[in-house]
Structure 1
Amino acid sequence: MLDLLNDLLWGKVLIVVLIGLGLVFTIGSRFVQFRHFGRMFRILGANQAFSRDKHGHLSSFQALMLSVAGRVGGGNIAGVAVAITLGGPGSIFWMWVVGLIGMATSFFECTLAQAYKQAEPDGTYRGGPAHYIARGMGANWKWLAGLYSVLLLVTFGFGFNALQSYSVATSFEDAFGIPVLATGIGLAVVVAAIVVGGVKRIAVVAEVLVPVMAIGYLAIALAVVALNLDAIPAVFSLIVKSAFGLEPAIGGGIGAAIMMGVKRGLFSNEAGLGSAPNVAAVAYVPHPASQGVVQAFSVFIDTLILCSCTAFIVLLGSVYQPGAASEIGGVALTQASLAGHVGEWGRVFVSVALMLFGFTTIIYNYYLGENSLAFFSDRNPLLIAVYRVVVIGLCGWGATTDLGTAFAFADVTMGFLALANLFALAMLFKRGLRLMRDFDEQIAAGVEEPVFDAAKFADLGIDPDAWKLEEEDEPRTVSARVRTA
């Protein structure tokens, strides 16, 4: 039954809905992900100037790293290899297409999450789909916000945390021979030390660890490319031809290529699932669309950069042969391919990368679960403490247990989670466009760093307290408004 539901949700319904809405968002926004691509880098630098440490705020960069920590995981290493094995090299082309479309979806869901965030006493913020459903869609839809929060807790807070723990432990056992129980206990201890510090400590860890692991994986992929420069044109040609059924393929030709590319792209970058908006809302930024632009960039990092790293490692190697049945797949194919390029230490490198990707995903998943509880309990200390104990326990226990059925159930709940969020995005699309136009109009008027005036959007149900800038940032707001006027 679970397999049937998964096939219906992820093999049919969500592919159509995610791509369809992604295209609507892309066209309706006049290709916002491409128009503002260059601003993604400038916004990060500009938003860093906004005060954070003095008042307890989190920066735009910290929020970006926190979302990348969740988007980047086993799917970037094992999932891409699975897509190539089952759908052929052409699946990578469709994965790129889904990533580019998903950037627009991520822009709108994260812009809305920023707009509808709530200020916390400690200087941080809370937000996400549950908040923009409850405040943006009105009291009649509060039940949907509650349902979304429950699904978020079950899927990410519990199910996928146990899954990531199992993946990290088995990867360590394969690379270093360390028993899964020992890894599980060690993981539980480290996770405990991080999560008791709340979102601030989680963000600090992600800010340091995510760039290290992403740059490290990118560096090894660039080294592989440098070693095989003469083969790059042929690989690009193979990917494009296979995408349109012009090369021999295993498992269904062009249909399999599209299916696997779309599926892997969606699973990996999470655009439309509503998970990333929960962390996008924590940033202290001058305008909601600023964080929307930055979060669109996180989809680019995940799918267009890191997933492509795995694709080139596999396709430039000799282990995988296009058009022939592969004896190995998943992470084993990535390991064997990298070992063929750089030697046996490549297997260990992949295992360590998988471990780091999995670890950062655990702390990201923890935060999603805590955020969902906060929607119901307003950060009840006892409830949060119990949740932390459960997650820490899951890290230890999940490492030793293959919970196949539980994970299949989590896939189903994630499918319904996506449907709830996508429905809300469709209903709130006009509001998202209004926020985007305010951002665009300020840029057109010569404002280098657009600022958000919540009073102009009082009819949207936005919390004005969440948009009060600190005293030292007010001069920048005033000068921006003067230039706009």
Structure 2
Amino acid sequence: MLTEIIDMLDKIVWSPPLVFGLLITGLLFSIVTRFAQVRQFKEMIRLLFKGEKSPQGISSFQAISLSLAGRVGTGNIVGVSAAIFIGGPGAVFWMWVTALLGASTAFVESTLGQIYKQKENGEYRGGPAYYIENGIGGKFGKVFALIFAVITIISIGLLMPGVQSNAIATSLHSAFNIPKWVVTIFLVVLLSLIIFGGIKRIASMATAIVPFMAIAYILLAAVVICLNISQVPELLALIFKSAFGLHSTFGGIIGAMIEIGVKRGLYSNEAGQGTGPHAASAAEVSHPAKQGLVQAFSAYIDTLFVCTATALIILISGTFNTTDGTENAHGKPNLVEDNGIYVLNADGSKDPSGTAMYVQSGIDKAFQGGDYHFDPNFAGFGSYFIAIALFFFAFTTILAYSYITETNTAYLTRKMSAKKSNIFITITRLILIFATAYGTLKTADAAWAMGDLGVGMMAWLNIVAIWILCKPAFHALKDFEQQKKAKGSGKLAVFRPTQQEAPNAYFWFDRAKNDDTLDKQD
């Protein structure tokens, strides 16, 4: 009964208005900023490794690592598999489009997070709840922010950890035959040791793990692609033909292809959902646009690099699936076949969660050569590697969820004494740990449905907020570009907004009064 209710709510929340609304938002923001996510690409790279740091804030690199910890998760492996299963190879193209346009949305929301951040208990805090209350202002702004914070705690702290922990438990059990209860205990202990150390420890772990795991995964994908380089042009052509309905096999599912490609792309890079601004707000920078550009780049890393690596491995394997989204009289998906390319689920049943076996088979095929025969029960190198990759991807995502949940709890309790606030933060940490443990024991379908519902609810609220508040972010970009042009690339760009340019940006108003950064180098 609960599963049916969740599925019904999920379909309402993730209706076409949200999916295409996020795309349109990214497109319009791109036009207004004159495609800053493309024009400022070189500056994104420079700022990534040039960030400041202070006792109150983390560096830009730590912030993007923490943000990528949230973005790079099961969606990059399991989600891409689901996208191709439901929408065909063309879904990959629409994931690329989502990344390009979503980068502008990520810039706006993360810049807003920086503009409206606050210093609480010696640390920078910020995110949608903060910029909604201060940016919109009045009673409406406070109520709106309160609703967002509560829904975020429920979504991120309760609903979404199960998606990640379920993938960890399932993959480790399949590859190494580790009982799920053992995985549950291990996750609970490790998670507790880290998240009770606060933002500094979480950021340190993310910085240590995320770059390593992403590079290792992309390098392995590069090896697989090189071993099958002759297939790449044909597969890229298949992606583009399928994306526009020009391929005979996939031409009839273009609607499902676009929707699932966009949906999984957004689930993966999280642009517009409101998660990225939390990490962005914790960074120490002299100008909000800096962190906005860095966070925009994270959408590229997530989708254009990691997701594309997964997609090519799956397509190279020749064992991917697709369905037109309908079912036959026996409740099985209506599948199509095309000249030797498998479009059949391993056990003949529908798998909306998108298993990782297609990535595994692609890796195994690359290393076994012509003697390879797809066997869903075969645990080769691909199975082991994907299990380990999923562990790191998903575990760091749970760490990011912990920080986001803690930030919104701190927002709701900021007027309480430090002791009372810490009690509530501890409670939310325990809830997240419970949700993680519970997710390891639930089915993939239930975990994904709950995760999708949480993401969708946040996205609806955040997209409305950034439409109302986008002007301060646009001003910040213009101010940053003007300062860099006037001062040269070596001078530090400093943000000194007026009340009209960034209403109620109290942190930056206070900093401007005692600003000593004019002559510093960037």
Shorter-chain TM range is over 0.9
Q: Please state how far the C-alpha of 1:302 moved relative to its aligned partner.
A: 0.5
Whether 1:258 and 2:258 are equivalent positions in the alignment is: yes
- Map of 1:396 onto structure 2: 437
Following the alignment from structure 1 to structure 2, what is the Cα–Cα distance between the partners of residues 366 and 391?
A: 7
Taking structure 1 as the reference length, what is the TM-score of the superposition? 0.92
2:9 maps to amino acid:
L
- Map of 2:332 onto structure 1: none
Q: Please state how far the C-alpha of 1:33 moved relative to its aligned partner.
A: 0.5
- Map of 1:24 onto structure 2: 28
Aligned pairs, number = 474
1:462 maps to amino acid:
A
1:333 maps to amino acid:
Y
Following the alignment from structure 2 to structure 1, what is the Cα–Cα distance between the partners of residues 142 and 451?
A: 23
Say whether the 8 Å CA contact 2:228–2:366 is kept in structure 1: no
Say whether the 8 Å CA contact 2:16–2:259 is kept in structure 1: no
Following the alignment from structure 1 to structure 2, what is the Cα–Cα distance between the partners of residues 350 and 67?
A: 22
Q: Considering fraction of residues, name the structure with more helix.
A: 1
- Map of 1:334 onto structure 2: 359
Whether 1:451 and 2:450 are equivalent positions in the alignment is: no
Worse-superposed segment, 307-316 or 377-386? 377-386
Provide closer, same or farther for how the CA distance between residues 92 and 404 of structure 1 changes in structure 2, counting only shifts above 3 A.
closer
SS of 1:361 mapped into structure 2: helix
- Map of 2:387 onto structure 1: 351
- Map of 1:37 onto structure 2: 41
Q: Please state how far the C-alpha of 1:398 moved relative to its aligned partner.
A: 3.1
Say whether the 8 Å CA contact 1:65–1:207 is kept in structure 2: yes
Whether 1:319 and 2:360 are equivalent positions in the alignment is: no
Say whether the 8 Å CA contact 1:92–1:311 is kept in structure 2: yes
Following the alignment from structure 2 to structure 1, what is the Cα–Cα distance between the partners of residues 40 and 497?
A: 25
- Map of 2:128 onto structure 1: 129
Worse-superposed segment, 160-169 or 315-324? 315-324
Q: Please state how far the C-alpha of 1:154 moved relative to its aligned partner.
A: 0.5
Q: Please state how far the C-alpha of 1:385 moved relative to its aligned partner.
A: 1.8
- Map of 2:519 onto structure 1: 478
SS of 2:50 mapped into structure 1: helix
- Map of 1:371 onto structure 2: 407
Which of 401, 419, 425 is matched with 2:466 structurally?
A: 425
Following the alignment from structure 2 to structure 1, what is the Cα–Cα distance between the partners of residues 438 and 455?
A: 22
Say whether the 8 Å CA contact 1:169–1:184 is kept in structure 2: yes
Please give the root-mean-square deviation of Cα atoms over the aligned residues, in Å: 2.3
Describe the superposition over 1:421-446 as per-residue Cα deviations: whole angstroms up to 9, x where unpaired. 11111111122111111111112213
SS of 1:477 mapped into structure 2: coil
- Map of 1:206 onto structure 2: 206
Say whether the 8 Å CA contact 1:96–1:303 is kept in structure 2: yes
> What are structure 2's unaligned runs of at least 5 residues?
322-336, 347-353, 369-379
Following the alignment from structure 1 to structure 2, what is the Cα–Cα distance between the partners of residues 377 and 289?
A: 29
Provide closer, same or farther for how the CA distance between residues 163 and 425 of structure 1 changes in structure 2, counting only shifts above 3 A.
same
1:384 maps to amino acid:
I
The aligned runs of 1:100-139 (5 Å cut-off) are: 100-122=100-122, 124-139=123-138
Provide closer, same or farther for how the CA distance between residues 405 and 79 of structure 1 changes in structure 2, counting only shifts above 3 A.
closer
Provide closer, same or farther for how the CA distance between residues 413 and 44 of structure 1 changes in structure 2, counting only shifts above 3 A.
closer
1:363 maps to amino acid:
L
Describe the superposition over 1:379-413 as per-residue Cα deviations: whole angstroms up to 9, x where unpaired. 61111122222223333343223385575345334
The aligned runs of 1:75-474 (5 Å cut-off) are: 75-122=75-122, 124-140=123-139, 141-250=141-250, 252-320=252-320, 323=338, 324-328=342-346, 330-343=355-368, 344-378=380-414, 380-402=421-443, 405=446, 408-448=449-489, 449-454=491-496, 456-457=498-499, 460-464=503-507, 468=511
Identity of aligned residues (%): 38
SS of 1:58 mapped into structure 2: coil
Q: Please state how far the C-alpha of 1:304 moved relative to its aligned partner.
A: 0.5
- Map of 2:324 onto structure 1: none
SS of 1:119 mapped into structure 2: strand
Following the alignment from structure 1 to structure 2, what is the Cα–Cα distance between the partners of residues 408 and 88?
A: 21
Following the alignment from structure 2 to structure 1, what is the Cα–Cα distance between the partners of residues 435 and 10?
A: 24
